[in-house]
Structure 1
Amino acid sequence: MAGDDDRRFPLHPDMMVLVDARRPTPPGQSVQAQRDSWNAYAARLAQPHPDTLDVTDTSVPGMERDVPVRIYRPKTPAAVTPCMIYLHGGGYMLGDLDSSDSIAWGFAVETGATVISVDYRLTPEHPWPAGFNDCWSVLVWAAEQGAAIGIDPDRLVIGGDSAGGRFAASLSQKAKIEGGPKIRAQAVIYANAGPIPNAGSMVDFATGFGLTAARTTEFGELLFPDGPWLDDPVAFPVLADDLTGLPPTLVHMAEYDPIRDAGRAYAAKLALAGNDVTVRTARGMIHGFMRARFTGAQAAAEHKFICDFLASHMV
C-alpha cells in the first residue's frame, strides 16, 4: 500500500483490514459511482447493530429542509439519556446513514447515550454551508426538542470523523458565537478545522495511505467552489481570531494521514486559547481507523478512548 514508505512508515497490523477492503478506483468516475464505491467499501467493513439498541430513521425540522437522521437509543435506558450528535465522514461528498451505521451505533453502545446520526447534504450539489446548516439544525433541535424523546438537553456532546469532525469543530464555533446550544464536549476524529499551509503530513502521506493529499484538496474545492471562506470563523475554525470558550475537545489523529498536521494545529490553537484539549495519535494507523475495530484490538482501543472521553463529559 505504501510502496517505498513501507519501511519508513510501517502500518499497524490492524490497518490491513482497511487495505484489503479497498478496491481500485477508475479515473473519471461520476459522483454517484464514487458514492456507490464508498458505500460498498463501508459495507465490507460493517457489522449490524446489536439488539440492545432501538434504531429509528426519521427526520427533524431544519433551516432549509427536513433533515434525515438515524436515532440509536438503548432499549433499557434511564428515563432520560445524554445525547451525542454524530457527523459522518466522506469528504463532504460521500457517505450516508448506512455507510456510517457501524460507527454511529458503536458510540451508542459504548457510551450508553442516545446517538443522532445526521444525513447532511453533500457536495458538489450542495456546497458550504448547506451540509453544515443541516448539522446545526439537528443540534438545535436536540437542545430544544430532544426532551420529547428522552434526551437530556444539558448533556449534549458532538463528534465526527473526517469531514464530520470538521463540521463538529464548526458547530462548536457557531454555538459559542450564538450563545448556545451548550455543548459538553466535542470529538474531532482524524479531521481538521480547516487546512493549514505547508503541512508536512500532506507531503509525507500524500499517497499510499488511503486518503490522499490530492483527494483532500479536491474535497475542499468542492465544499468551497467559489473559494474558501477564510475569514469566516465557523467555516474555518483553525483560522479564527477567537478560539476561547470552546467545549472540552478531543483531537484524535491517525499517525499516517495527510490531514494529521492540520489536526495538530487546531489542537495547539485550542490549547493556546485556554481550552481543555486532549490530543491522541493512533500510532501506525491511517485515516478511517475506527472501521477496523471489529477485527483489531488496538483499533478497538482507539475507538474506546473516544467513547470514554465523551462519556466522561455526559455525567
Structure 2
Amino acid sequence: MKPLLAARVLMAPAKTPAEKRANWTRYTNAIAIPRPAHILTEDRIVPTPDHAVPVRIYRRDGQEAGAPAIVYLHGGGFMLGDLDSSDSNAWGLCDQTGAAVVSVDYRLTPEHPFPAAFNDSFGVLSWLAAQGGEIGVDGARIALCGDSAGGSLSAACCLAARDRGGPAIAAQALVYPTLGADPILPSYIESKDGPSLTTESMIYYNDIYFSGWRFAADPYAAPLKAPDLSGLPPTFIHTAEFDPLRDDGREFAGRLALEGVWVSYREARRMLHGFLRMREAGSQGRAEFAALCAFLREHLA
C-alpha cells in the first residue's frame, strides 16, 4: 500500500468538483500501469435512451469474435473518474480474463446526480446484450465489474436486470463497493480517517449522489436498501480490511447468502480502499487481483 499512499500526497486541498477532479487525475496518473502493446482499445459512443455514453473497448490482440464481455464501471465517489483514470484496471481485467472489457464513462455528480450514472450504466449493459455482435462479443455472456462507486452501479444494474426481465448477467464482481449503508457500521468508525478514504468523504459523495438523501433508500442508488436480493447472479465481493466501506460489502454478502444467491466474499488483509490499482506493487496485490479475475473467468467460460 505504500505506493498508493505516496501518490495521495499529490492531492492538494480541494473544495470544488473541478479541483477534486484535477487531484484525481494527478493521483491516478501517478499510479497508472502502462497498457501493454497486446491490449488493443477502441473508443466509441453508445446510444442509450437518456444519453450518448462514451465507452472504451479493450481486447487482446488476435481475440476471436464471440468472446465474453465485462462491463467495467470505475470508482470515484460518483464525482471523479473517466476512461483514462480507470485505464489500468480495465486493461488488467481484459488481460487476465480473456474477455473484452467495455469501460463506461458515465455522467458524474454534482452536474448529474442519481439516476444519471445508473441510467448510463444500464443503458450500456442493455446495448451490449442486444448489439454485442457489432463489436465481436457474445452478448449472452456478460459480467459486471465495478470498484467503489462502480460497485454500487454494478449491483444496481443487476437488480434492475432482474426486475426488468433482462439482460441476462453471468456474474457480478464488486470491489470495495459503496452500497448505501448508513455510516454507523463498525468499519465507518474503525477506519473513519482513512488513510485512503475517509468516512466524511464518503458521506459527502453519497449526499450529492442521493440529492441530499432524497434517493438514499432507492435500491438502484443504494443496493443495500433493496428489500429483496434474491435472484441475482453469482457474486464476488472484494473488500479491504482498512476501509470505511468494508462493512458495506460484508453486509451485502451476508444478505445475498441468506437470500439464496451464490456469493464469495474475500477481504484483502492489511489493504486499503483502492488496492485494485496496486496489483503490481507486491505479491499480495497480484494475488488479490488474480482472485478477482479467476472468478470472472470461471463464470464467463
* Aligned-residue RMSD, C-alpha: 1.2
Match of 2:6 among 8, 14, 20: 20
Judge conservation of contact 1:73–1:113 (CA < 8 Å) in 2.
yes
Judge conservation of contact 1:290–1:300 (CA < 8 Å) in 2.
no
Match of 1:282 among 246, 268, 282: 268
Match of 2:57 among 68, 71, 82: 71
Amino acid in structure 2 at the alignment position of 1:67: V
In structure 2, the partner of 1:10 is: none
Q: Secondary structure, in 3 states, of the residue corresponding to 2:291?
A: helix
User: What percent of counterpart residues are identical?
Assistant: 46
Structure 1 residues 25, 112: CA separation in 2 closer, same or farther (over 3 Å shift)? closer
The alpha-carbon deviation at position 25 of structure 1 amounts to 4.6
Amino acid in structure 2 at the alignment position of 1:76: G
The alpha-carbon deviation at position 260 of structure 1 amounts to 0.5
In structure 2, the partner of 1:150 is: 136
> TM-score, normalized by length of structure 1?
0.93
Which sections of structure 1, spanning at least 5 residues, go unmatched? 1-14
**Once the two structures are superposed, what CA deviation does each residue of 1:124-172 show, in whole Å capped at 9, x if it has no partner?**
0000000111101100010000112111011100010000001000000
In structure 1, the partner of 2:101 is: 115
Q: How many residues align?
A: 301
Matched, 1:225 2:182: no
Structure 2: distance between partners of 1:228 and 1:189: 25
Alignment of 1:1-315 (within 5 A): 15-23=1-9, 25-315=11-301
Structure 2: distance between partners of 1:160 and 1:28: 25
The alpha-carbon deviation at position 194 of structure 1 amounts to 1.4
Q: Secondary structure, in 3 states, of the residue corresponding to 2:141?
A: strand
**Once the two structures are superposed, what CA deviation does each residue of 1:85-105 show, in whole Å capped at 9, x if it has no partner?**
000000000000000000000
The alpha-carbon deviation at position 233 of structure 1 amounts to 2.4
> TM-score, normalized by length of structure 2?
0.97
Larger mean CA deviation between 20-29 and 63-72 belongs to 20-29
Larger RCO (alpha carbons 8 Å, 6+ apart): 1
Judge conservation of contact 2:191–2:243 (CA < 8 Å) in 1.
yes
Which sections of structure 2, spanning at least 5 residues, go unmatched? none
